Amino acid sequence: MISRRLLRVKALQILYAYRATENPSINRAEKELIFSIEKSYDLYHLIFLLLTDLTLYGRQRMEIARSKFFPTEEEANPNARFLDNRLIAQIEESKSFRQYIESRKLSWTNQEELIKSLYRSILEWDVYQDYMIKEEDSFEQDKKFIARLIGELILPDESFMQVLEEQSIYWNDDIEAIGSMVLKTLSKWKESTGLHLLSMYSNEDDRLFVINLFRKCILHSDEYQELIKRFSENWDFERLAWMDILIMQMAITEAIHFPSIPTKVSLNEYIEISKYYSTEKSSHFINGILDKIFIQLKTDNKIQKTGRGLIGEI
């Protein structure tokens, strides 16, 4: 499932775009938010699809080599261990996976150069060469290799990243979170159960969380901006980074309107987000301002947490 960290980031990005729009519409922006999350889930599927396309390309190469008039011994009797990888075979056999791919019209069809480039890199990779000659031949070995292939070769590949940037503006900041989601899927994968993909959301609470967070942040924007202005009295509010203000608005919204989420969790999440999406010194500034705001909000009983272990939390 898509992590709450990424859901917060998606909400922040659409909120930023909403504020920059001349005639903003909450309903239109909310649809854009949902679409952005769906695109992240598409990327999750596309990474698995890339594995099947790589092996398809490899099989085509293998058949061409075999068809030569005078193939070498290696060409006539190739080592097909990677091409016969059990985990990739289960992806290919998954009806639910194929249905999703077809319904969303996902494909690497127009990325032949990327497929060729990645395949060449795989052949030259020492981890691949060790895998191909290992004595142990099992599903677990196949799975370990695919996990390393994705984590160490595909995800860091510059050509892969460039293609993602060209394909969708929504994927620029997704790869780390979605890559972790793919690796988590692999870690839980058992040969007996076949491909079992994670759902888009962990549960209905997560879906409602991101929608309500976004909407309430907009509805209470003026109120929370005044609060930020009040507690940043030593700073020129007009000169504060707009992203800093939005991050603090979201943190305040979450602290007040989501009683089951500990305040410290909200604080830490937005501080971490600020390290990637705002200025170099923003995290320290945001931490200081939010800390003072949260103390005041608790004094005013505007932050009230419920649930086991949360009542009266600091």
Q: What are all long-range contacts of 37-42, with beta carbons under 8 Å and residues at least 24 apart?
A: 37/2, 37/7, 37/10, 37/200, 37/210, 38/200, 39/168, 39/170, 39/171, 39/174, 40/2, 40/6, 40/10, 40/170, 40/171, 40/174, 40/177, 40/178, 41/2, 41/200, 42/104, 42/106
pLDDT computed for residue 115 by the predictor: 97
CB 230 within 8 A of CB 261: no
> Within this chain, do residues 270 and 167 fall inside the same structural domain, yes or no?
no
Residues 168 and 275 placed together within one structural domain of the fold? no
Per-residue pLDDT of the chain (314 residues; tens, 9 = 90+): 899 999 999 999 999 999 988 899 999 999 999 999 999 999 999 999 999 999 999 999 998 888 878 777 776 778 899 999 999 999 999 999 999 999 999 999 999 999 999 999 999 999 999 999 999 999 999 999 999 999 999 999 999 999 999 999 889 889 999 999 999 999 999 999 889 999 999 999 999 999 999 999 999 999 999 999 898 876 655 556 889 999 999 999 999 999 999 999 999 999 999 999 988 788 888 999 999 999 999 999 999 888 654 555 55
42 and 157 part of one domain: yes
Query: In the listed set 142, 172, 188, which residue is the last one of a domain according to the structure?
Result: 188
Kindly state whether residue 194 falls inside one of the protein's structural domains: no
Cβ atoms of 244 and 260 within 8 Å: the answer is: no
Q: Considering the entire predicted model, what is its pTM?
A: 0.91
Pair (133, 69) in one structural domain: yes
Q: How far apart are CA 211 and CA 208, in angstroms?
A: 5
Please check whether residue 43 lies inside any domain of the structure. yes
* Best CA proximity match to 101, nearest among 111, 88, 92: 92
Could you tell me if residue 200 is inside a domain? no
Task: Please indicate, yes or no, whether residues 131 and 83 belong to a single structural domain of this protein.
Answer: yes
pLDDT on residue 259: 94
Together in a domain, 24 and 150: yes
Q: What is the pLDDT of residue 72?
A: 77
Indicate whether 117 and 20 sit together in one domain.
Answer: yes
**Residue 69 DSSP one-character state:** S
Are residues 229 and 130 part of one domain? no
**Angstrom distance (rounded) from CA 26 to CA 248:** 20
Do 58 and 165 reside in the same domain of the chain?
yes
CATH number (domain holding residue 252): 1.10.940.10
Size of the chain, expressed as the number of residues it contains: 314
Q: Domain total for the chain?
A: 2
Q: What is the pLDDT of residue 75?
A: 64
For the chain, counts of helices (H) and of strands (E): 15, 0
Give domain status of residue 114, yes or no.
Answer: yes
Range of the domain at 244: 220-299
State whether residue 159 is helix, strand or coil.
Answer: helix
CA 195 – CA 175 distance, rounded (Å)? 21
Asked whether residue 170 falls in the same domain as residue 54, the answer is: yes
The 3-state DSSP class for residue 241 equals coil
For residues 29 and 33, what is the distance between their CA atoms, to the nearest angstrom? 6
312 belongs to a structural domain: no
79 domain-assigned: yes
Letter for the amino acid at 33? L
Residue 73 within any structural domain of the chain: yes
Positive or negative torsion for Cα 7, 146, 85, 128: positive
Given 173, 188, 203, the domain boundary residue is 188
Half-sphere exposure of 194 (CA within 13 A, CB side): 9
174 & 26 share domain:
yes
pLDDT at 132: 96
The pLDDT value given to residue 65: 80
Evaluated on CA atoms 157, 159, 160, 165, the torsion sign reads: positive
Q: Is the dihedral of CA 198, 203, 204, 209 positive or negative?
A: negative
Of 104, 97, 95, which is closest to residue 48 (Cα–Cα)?
97
Q: What pLDDT was estimated at residue 238? A: 58
